[in-house]
Structures are given as structure tokens and as C-alpha cells.
Amino acid sequence: MTGGEVAVQTSWGPSIYATVDPNLEFRQGELISGIVQYRYYPEDGSVEEISHAYAIIASQDCDLLQDHNSKEATGESQLNSILLYEAHETSVLRGQVAGSDIWKRIVQNNDERYHALEAAHAKFDLSNVGLPDLIVDFRRFFTISPMDLAKQIQAGTAARRCRLEMPYREQFQTRAAFYLQRVGVPEPHKIAQPCPSVMLLTAIRHPADAKAAFSGPRRAAASCASAAHRLAPA
């Protein structure tokens, strides 16, 4: 967050998006459309073009600002590359997700792999058309140099659209960082399940409860608990 920055308020509450100034630095949480990523294969000298309909910048604001100032002052960039995540329209990603329960978690931002972004109104979009609902996939990221990105935008093949406003930018940043910081373990912790009879006896708080617990089908479970107590070491 830049110094003195506050969330933009609208008549219906805080805004999720804000406009970007095309003459200023790139911003964390900025959405860009039409980026082409170039992948070079040295074995045969071929170049593959990978098109990204939408992408969102994840690099830090301070790094992006310093890089912009450096280019303004010296013409040289301080960054090797800018980190971006792919963003896909919900209509595209929905067919790749199996199960309505998983999709519900995704659109509610309860799935650690994905980050949902609601549609942006045209008034925030530099292209004046608005953006659709998007899903960011934290497994799919790429980099591009600031100079290459600027050239694509100047050529009109890529376009700066809008950016996330605080605290939605910080939400995106922290969720992306959490996903990258996951630690894989060989086996998960195995927590023993409590015996049903122990749970039953723990729940007894009144003599009437005790009478009910030791009658009918529950008698066997209570007997099991009693036996386990007698066998327990002193």
C-alpha cells in the first residue's frame, strides 16, 4: 500500500476496483488483458507464443514504483521480470472443475488454489467495456519483463484494464503468498476418534440422563466404557 492510501468509498460501500493511470507505474493487483508470453526453445531456435486473455500482477507495489522511477530517470529497468497469475473467465474454468461443492468453495474464496474476482464495471476499466467474473489460479503463474509488457501495451496487443482496491488487493496478495508457502508432509496427522461410549458418558450431566444412557441399546456401549475403565492402568 502506498503512503496515505485509503480505500475508495462509493454510495454502496468500499469499491473493489479502481482505475489505473496509463502514465504511471504498474500496480500490484492490476488486471491486464491480451498478454503474450514468449517461450524460447534453444534446441531448435523456435519460439512458442502463449496468450493470456487475462492476468493479474502479483509483484510488490514498491518494486514496481522503483522500477518505473528508474526507467524515467535512466531508461534502465531494475526488475528482471514482473510476476503475474493467469485469470480465467468463470465460464471457461467451470467446465474444468468437477463437483458443485468444489465450485461453491471456489467462488466463495474458500478454496486455497483459486481466487475469485467479481466482474468490474466499465467505469473502472480503461477500455470502457468492463471485465467479466474471473478466477485466478495460484498454480498458474508466469513472468514477463517490464520492458516487454510495456511494449505490448504500447503496441495495443495488451491492455491495462483496472486494479484491485484495498483491502481486496491485500486479500489477493495474502492468499497467493499462503498458497506458495504450503508445506507438503509425507503423511497427515492421524487423530484417534473418541469411543462413542466415552462421548456418551462425558455428555451425562443429570441423573435422568444417566438412567437413559444405561437403558436400551446404550447399555452395551456404557458397559464397554466401564470395562475399559477397569482395564486402564492405575
Residue 129 CA: distances (Å) to CA of 93, 132, 138: 22, 10, 26
Backbone angles phi, psi at 39, to 5 degrees: -115, 120
For residues 7 and 50, the model is more confident at: 50
- pLDDT tens for residues 103-143? 999 999 999 999 999 999 999 999 999 999 999 999 999 99
- pLDDT tens for residues 150-186? 999 999 999 999 999 999 999 999 999 999 999 989 9
The secondary element (H helix, E strand) that includes residue 89 is strand 82-89
Q: Picking from 40-54, 94-108, 127-141, which range would have the lowest pLDDT averaged per residue?
A: 94-108
Name the CA radius of gyration of the chain, rounded: 27
Q: Over 60: is that where the pLDDT of 1 sits?
A: no
Q: Which residues contact 95 (CB under 8 A, 6 or more apart)?
A: none
Confidence of residue 144 (pLDDT cuts 50, 70, 90): very high
Q: How far is it, in rounded angstroms, from Cα 7 to Cα 15?
A: 7
Q: How far is it, in rounded angstroms, from Cα 218 to Cα 17?
A: 59
Instruction: Determine the pLDDT at residue 94.
Output: 87
Cell reading at 171: 486479500
Query: pTM of the predicted model, to two decimals?
Result: 0.76
Kindly tell me the number of DSSP H helices and DSSP E strands found in the chain.
8, 9
Q: Over 90: is that where the pLDDT of 70 sits?
A: yes
Instruction: Determine the pLDDT at residue 210.
Output: 56
Tell me which residue has cell 518494486: 63
Instruction: Determine the pLDDT at residue 154.
Output: 96
- pLDDT tens for residues 179-233? 999 998 999 899 998 777 666 666 666 656 555 555 555 554 554 455 445 445 5
Backbone angles phi, psi at 47, to 5 degrees: -130, 125
